[in-house]
Amino acid sequence: METPCPRCGTLKTESVRHGFIYNMLWKMGYHLRRCSFCNRRRLIKRGDRNRPHPNDLTAEELTEHFNRRIALTLKREGAGSGVVVKSMAANSALPSSADGTPPRTIAIGMAEGESADDYGLCPKCGNNKYRRSRRRWYERMLNRPRMARCLKCTHRFPYPN
């Protein structure tokens, strides 16, 4: 699990420009990111040091990787019924499942049936842009979760971890 930022306590990070320092840290097994809230540089240890850099992967390898990730998430949800992601470079026919029905197809970047209670979205307006909001003193005493504030409608909700 990712540790919170020592300065502001936020878990959310953003990418940094790839340069000499980024590449050296990547070779040592770390990922250089920056905190979304205070812009402090953060070093995150990579789980698999032998994994190739994302820029070195081909379109087919990326599609295969996304297919595996989507299948894993659907298995966790209990609806693992043959999902295939279409690649722009792939011209082959889609595989069919054992019972003869064609598999569902999900386009990359498009979410199927998103609702306002999806992970990381504001429950009031459904916006995905939010910032970390400080808890009040009584919320800390009651051990309430960290809070976030939507940048569109200013609604406060529990911070999605």
Number of domains in the chain: 3
100 and 120 share one domain: no
Write the secondary structure of the chain as one string of H (helix), E (strand) and C (coil): CCCCCCCCCCCCEEECCCCHHHHHHHHCCEEEEEECCCCCEEEEECCCCCCCCHHHCCHHHHHHHHHHHHHHHHHHHCCCCCEEECCCCCCCCCCCCCCCCCCEEECCCCCCCCCCCCCCCCCCCCCCCEEEECCCHHHHHCCCCCEEEECCCCCEEECCC
In a domain, 50, yes or no: no
pLDDT digits (tens, 9 = 90+) for 15-35: 888 889 888 888 888 888 898
pLDDT digits (tens, 9 = 90+) for 99-156: 555 555 444 433 444 443 456 788 888 888 888 888 888 888 898 888 899 998 989 9
pLDDT at residue 103, rounded to an integer: 54
End position of a domain, from candidates 65, 87, 106: 106
Q: What is the pTM of this model?
A: 0.33
Residue-number span of the structural domain to which 87 is assigned: 57-106
In a domain, 4, yes or no: no
63 and 86 share one domain: yes
